[in-house]
Amino acid sequence: MNNDFRFTIKSICLDENYHPSNSTRLTTNFANLARGESRQQNLRNALKMIDSRFNALANWDNPQGNRYSVELEIISVDLEIAQSTEAFPSIEVLKTNIIDHQTNERIEGIVGNNFSSYVRDYDFSVLLLDHNKEKSEFSIPENFGDLHGKLFKYFIDSETYKQNFKKPPVICLSVSDNKTYHRTENQHPILGAEYQPNESSLTEQYFKKMGLQVRYFMPPNTVAPLAFYFFGDLLNDYTNLELISTISTMETF
């Protein structure tokens, strides 16, 4: 069935000269920074915050706190259905690249942060609202998220994805405010202490249909745990620098 779908990837640099495209969601954080009279200064400040946070976490062999900087790409994915002559924007995410100014090396980071999807927007903003309209108790529509989950897994399994990215995505989100998180004994040198929630959330259930697992960690000097959605083994499949690039980008945007 995935032969019925074709994916096209477009990439642009997210720097102080970035201008949002017409297909970028209006509520996307980095796009909001890029609008208005102070757009360039806002972007410049945000990028400096990312570099500062990155160097604070990557503090080994980094006595001046300026060894690294992070370059960001906006990855836009268009989906074309077989026998159709038109493609529509389906997914937009950020990808990190790490510059080591000591070795002059450019290190590929992780794709996945600031994940946005028009199908997901429809599910939560239209389908879910219509389903619960004028109902006394909240409920979830049957097969909620199934289509989005299948499309996302088709993309990750596609040759287009494999040709452009070395590793599966990691999506980092703020945790839900209406849940309780209990600290465990597990401690990671970069991700910090691991936490366990008291219950599952709708976001967790939705992302599970995308094939993603979730773990919760609170990196140093953060006020709440972060949710890391991933395939495979989060702690062993990614390097410390890759994880730091995801944390510093998410905390800023």
Integer Cα distance of 92 and 113 in angstroms:
9
Quick check: helix, strand or coil at residue 12?
A: strand
**Res 239: pLDDT:** 98
Of 71, 65, 67, which is closest to residue 98 (Cα–Cα)? 71
Integer Cα distance of 187 and 183 in angstroms:
10
What residue ranges in 34-175 does DSSP mark as E strands?
Answer: 68-81, 87-100, 105-117, 170-174
Judging by beta carbons within 10 Å of its beta carbon (0-12, 13-18, 19+), is residue 99 exposed, middle or buried? middle
Max intra-chain CA distance, the chain: 61
Q: What is the dihedral of CA 69, 47, 152, 219, to 10 degrees?
A: 70
Paired with 87 in beta bridges are 80
Q: Which strands, in side-by-side order, build the sheet including 192-197?
A: 170-174, 226-230, 213-218, 192-197, 181-188
**Res 136: pLDDT:** 92
pLDDT in tens, 170-225: 999 999 888 899 999 999 999 999 999 999 999 999 999 999 999 999 999 999 99
**Res 26: pLDDT:** 64
CA distances from 181 to 11, 64, 197, 200, 218 (A): 37, 35, 4, 11, 11
109 within 8 A of 98, measured Cβ to Cβ: yes
Neighbour-count burial for 64-87, b at 16+ CB within 10 Å, e otherwise: eeebbbbbbbbbbbbbbeeeeeee
Judging by beta carbons within 10 Å of its beta carbon (0-12, 13-18, 19+), is residue 7 exposed, middle or buried? buried
- How does pLDDT run along the chain (253 residues), one tens digit per residue? 456 789 999 999 999 999 887 767 666 778 888 888 899 999 999 999 999 999 999 999 999 999 999 999 999 999 998 777 678 889 999 999 999 999 999 999 999 999 999 899 999 999 999 999 989 999 999 999 999 999 999 999 999 999 999 999 999 999 988 889 999 999 999 999 999 999 999 999 999 999 999 999 999 999 999 999 999 999 999 999 999 999 999 999 8
**Res 86: pLDDT:** 78
**Res 23: pLDDT:** 66
